[in-house]
Structure 1
Amino acid sequence: MRRGSELRKALAEKFDDELRFFKGWIDKPKAVGSIIPTSSITAKRMASVVDISSGLPVLEIGPGTGVITRAILGRGLPAAKLYAVEYSPDFVRHLRRNFPGVNVIEGDAFDLDATLGEDAPKRFDSVVSGVPLLNFPVQQRVAYIEDLLDRIPDGRPIIQLTYGPKSPVPPGLGNYSVKHFDFVIRNIPPTQLWVYRRGRGN
């Protein structure tokens, strides 16, 4: 009976997340890239780039309902070392309720100096990005990646998901390298993962 109860609770939470994500997509289709949340498989692949041993905090951009947030914490990162920037006030409330201790910040990912504020860390181990970059002009995407790379050590990654076949930030337009990381079929829609780096490890 207990196992059945736990299963029903898990299914109810998953449905609630998907409903919340769909509502977010209806309200702000440009800010939410898909009508359903990222799969747990994709989330674990993205979280795998985080180096817990670095001692540095991690920056997550566009956490949505928190599927990737959960995967990052699942690697052993203390909640206080995770900074999650989310544009949607509804998602922010959901994240703060479900992930106590995580630094959930409401604001614009394309203006991180203002969004993070003066008290936020100046350096992060890595960046996990779920921002739907294909909804924005190419030069804005390049500036976004360049800004994030300024916040992490040389050689450390930004991992970005996209539903298009190519990197959402083209190579050769700035001081960064582009590498395909994975293609996750078990995601709706199937997802491409890309890594951007600067300097060491290109």
Structure 2
Amino acid sequence: MAEPQNRSGADTKGAADWLRFLATWARDPKKMGAVASSSRAYCAMMVRHASIGVDGPILELGPGLGVVTRALLEAGVDPARITSIEYDPTFAETLKTRFPRVNVVWGDGFDLDATLKDGGETRFAAILFAIPILQMKQAERQALFSSYVRRLRPGGNITQLSYAPTAPVKAVPGLFEPSSSPLVWANIPPARVWIYTPTGPAAGH
């Protein structure tokens, strides 16, 4: 009897999360970017392509209610390595409750210096990005991701959840170039993970 009860509890939790996500999207669609959180298969694909094997801290931007966070933990990442920056205060509080060993920060993932208060010194093994940016101009996106690349450790990369059919952020010569995962059909809508790999001098930092 225990197994069906556990499944029911997970289903109830998932339904509650979906309703909370939908309500937040209804208040501010541009901030959320999607009407439902990403599927576990999609988040697992993101983690598979993220450079989590590089030593050092991992930065998660836009964790929502923690689907990617859970995928990181299921992949064996030590929660003490993860810093998750969430803009929505209620989501941030939920994340702190669900993942007490993860460093959850309520703040702006677009301004890491102000949010992390580290003077720009922290270098990350991987950055996992799930904040909508299609409303931004391409030059602004490139500038943003250039700033993230400068915070990567050697061998690190940026992975992005986005429903865009082409790379949301175009290459910056000598700094990074995009590629993509296979299409994940088990997601609404089907989508790819975009991977941004440092190039040229930036690859060695």
Q: TM-score, normalised by structure 1?
A: 0.92
For 2:159 and 2:74, the matched residues in 1 are separated by 17
Matched ranges for 1:14-93 at <5 A: 14-93=14-93
The structural deviation recorded for 1:158 is: 0.4
Paired AA for residue 180 in structure 1: S
Q: Is there any run of 5+ residues in structure 1 with no aligned partner, and where?
A: none
1:25–1:32 CA contact under 8 A, matched in 2: yes
2:149–2:175 CA contact under 8 A, matched in 1: no
The structural deviation recorded for 1:136 is: 2.1
**Other-structure match for 2:193:** 193
C-alpha distance 159-137 of structure 1, shift in aligned 2 (>3 A): same
For 1:16 and 1:174, the matched residues in 2 are separated by 45
2:163–2:190 CA contact under 8 A, matched in 1: yes
2:43–2:68 CA contact under 8 A, matched in 1: yes
Matched ranges for 1:168-183 at <5 A: 168-172=168-172, 175-183=175-183
The structural deviation recorded for 1:50 is: 4.0
Matched, 1:160 2:160: yes
For 1:159 and 1:53, the matched residues in 2 are separated by 14
C-alpha distance 140-120 of structure 1, shift in aligned 2 (>3 A): closer
CA RMSD of aligned residues (A): 1.9
Percent of aligned pairs sharing the same letter: 35
C-alpha distance 42-171 of structure 1, shift in aligned 2 (>3 A): same
Render the CA deviation track for 1:13-53: whole Å, top value 9, x for unaligned. Answer: 11011111111211221111111111000111111134554
What count of residue pairs does the alignment treat as equivalent?
Answer: 201
For 2:168 and 2:174, the matched residues in 1 are separated by 13
Q: TM-score, normalised by structure 2?
A: 0.91
Aligned to 2:156, the other structure's residue is in SS state: coil
**Other-structure match for 2:118:** 118
Aligned to 2:182, the other structure's residue is in SS state: strand
For 1:191 and 1:176, the matched residues in 2 are separated by 22
Q: Is there any run of 5+ residues in structure 2 with no aligned partner, and where?
A: none
C-alpha distance 151-6 of structure 1, shift in aligned 2 (>3 A): same
2:54–2:155 CA contact under 8 A, matched in 1: no
For 2:113 and 2:198, the matched residues in 1 are separated by 20
